[in-house]
């Protein structure tokens, strides 16, 4: 009798244990169903990308920088983010007028015999010279000569200019050197565009303003269309003359603050350069007789060499 009671007691315990195990097994999922952390799906993270060799971005052969003429820059660029000048682009030698040269004698030729001529062209060129003179005051003064004798700078007209490596030019600054001295610094301006269209007065003035910048010492081109020294004419320049930017003016000031590698010798006109060369043999104090505007006789100038 005692054995039967023990056996029944053990059976009851086993049955209760099974019921408890089943209850716990069913209760656990239900207990966590209301847990906000467990019920939400984890946020989706970016799928990991396997490391792959990045293909090079398309460039010109040899990873060359595209030529300036191919850069599509807008005149609405935020000018406040631009450097104050582009002097760092002046990679070539500094070639400018001597520090003692305060005035330049300019001769503007007559192109009335050429197709595309506008009788107002000389005045347009003078307006361009005047803009540079005012911007650089009191560094330069321009005096206009009735003929090319004694002139430092000659402005010559041509119907069209000989095509260069990058196409036909609208204007050219012809600069020649002898030793460390500038021997020639003239300007040529075209009357007809490569498309066969006569340049408008606004375009002619803009082209002259650009070439005068080269003549004064800006050898490099800017990469911003808002600067006069950008290498290509903007479409707006055909209707409205372009004007100097602050960057153009700042850059030319820096050119004249820098040491010149090539410069014009003091006390003479470039038209007398052959005579100047003869004074270089002795490298000593030399008299040079030159013609001064308004003076009816030659004036002796002492050149210290």
Asked if 94 contacts 217 with a C-beta cutoff of 8 angstroms, the reply is yes
The strand pairing partners of 95, in sequence order, are 262
Residues 6+ apart with CB under 8 A from 90: 218, 219, 220, 251, 255
| Coil, strand or helix at 200 | coil
Cβ atoms of 51 and 203 within 8 Å: the answer is no
| pLDDT attached to residue 100 | 87
The rounded average pLDDT for each run of 10 residues, N- to C-terminus, in the chain (305 residues) is 49 64 54 41 38 35 29 38 88 86 93 96 97 94 92 95 70 89 93 93 96 94 94 89 96 94 82 77 42 48 43
Q: How far apart are CA 18 and CA 88, in angstroms?
A: 89
pLDDT at 17: 62
**Exposed, middle or buried by CB within 10 Å (0-12, 13-18, 19+), for 31?**
exposed
Quote the pLDDT of residue 270.
Answer: 84
pTM given for the model: 0.66
Find residue 107's DSSP bridge partners: 154
> pLDDT at position 301, please?
46
Distance separating alpha carbons of residues 260 and 217, to the nearest angstrom: 10
DSSP conformation letters of 72-100: ---TTS-GGGS-S--GGG--S--EE--TT
Look at residue 278 in the predicted model and tell me its pLDDT: 77
Give the pLDDT confidence score for residue 90 in this predicted structure: 79
What's the confidence (pLDDT) of residue 273?
A: 81
DSSP SS3 for 264: coil
**Residue 39: per-residue pLDDT:** 36
Domain boundaries, the chain: 86-263
For residue 44, give both structure tokens: 């989706």
Q: What is the pLDDT of residue 164?
A: 60
86-263: CATH topology:
Collagenase (Catalytic Domain) (3.40.390)
């Amino acid at each position: 009798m005692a054995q039967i009671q023990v056996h029944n007691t053990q059976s009851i315990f086993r049955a209760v244990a099974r019921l408890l195990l089943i209850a716990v097994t069913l209760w656990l999922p239900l207990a966590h169903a209301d847990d906000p952390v467990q019920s939400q799906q984890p946020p989706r993270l970016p799928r990991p990308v396997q490391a792959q060799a990045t293909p090079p971005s398309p460039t010109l052969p040899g990873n060359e920088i595209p030529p300036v003429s191919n850069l599509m820059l807008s005149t609405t660029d935020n000018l406040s983010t631009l450097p104050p000048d582009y002097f760092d682009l002046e990679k070539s030698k500094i070639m400018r007028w001597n520090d003692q040269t305060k005035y330049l004698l300019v001769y503007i030729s007559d192109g009335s015999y050429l197709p595309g001529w506008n009788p107002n062209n000389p005045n347009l060129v003078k307006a361009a010279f005047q803009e540079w003179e005012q911007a650089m005051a009191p560094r330069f003064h321009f005096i206009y000569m009735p003929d090319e004798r004694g002139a430092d700078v000659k402005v010559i007209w041509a119907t069209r200019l000989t095509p260069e490596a990058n196409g036909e030019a609208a204007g050219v600054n012809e600069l020649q050197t002898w030793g460390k001295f500038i021997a020639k610094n003239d300007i040529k301006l075209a009357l007809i565009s490569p498309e066969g269209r006569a340049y408008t007065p606004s375009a002619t003035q803009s082209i002259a303003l650009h070439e005068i910048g080269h003549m004064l010492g800006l050898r490099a081109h800017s990469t911003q269309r808002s600067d006069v020294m950008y290498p290509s004419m903007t479409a707006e320049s055909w209707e409205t003359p372009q004007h100097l930017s602050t960057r153009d003016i700042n850059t030319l000031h820096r050119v004249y603050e820098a040491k010149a590698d090539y410069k014009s010798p003091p006390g003479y006109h470039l038209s007398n350069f052959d005579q100047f060369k003869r004074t270089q043999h002795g490298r000593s104090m030399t008299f040079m007789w030159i013609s001064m505007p308004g003076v009816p006789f030659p004036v002796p100038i002492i050149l210290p060499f």
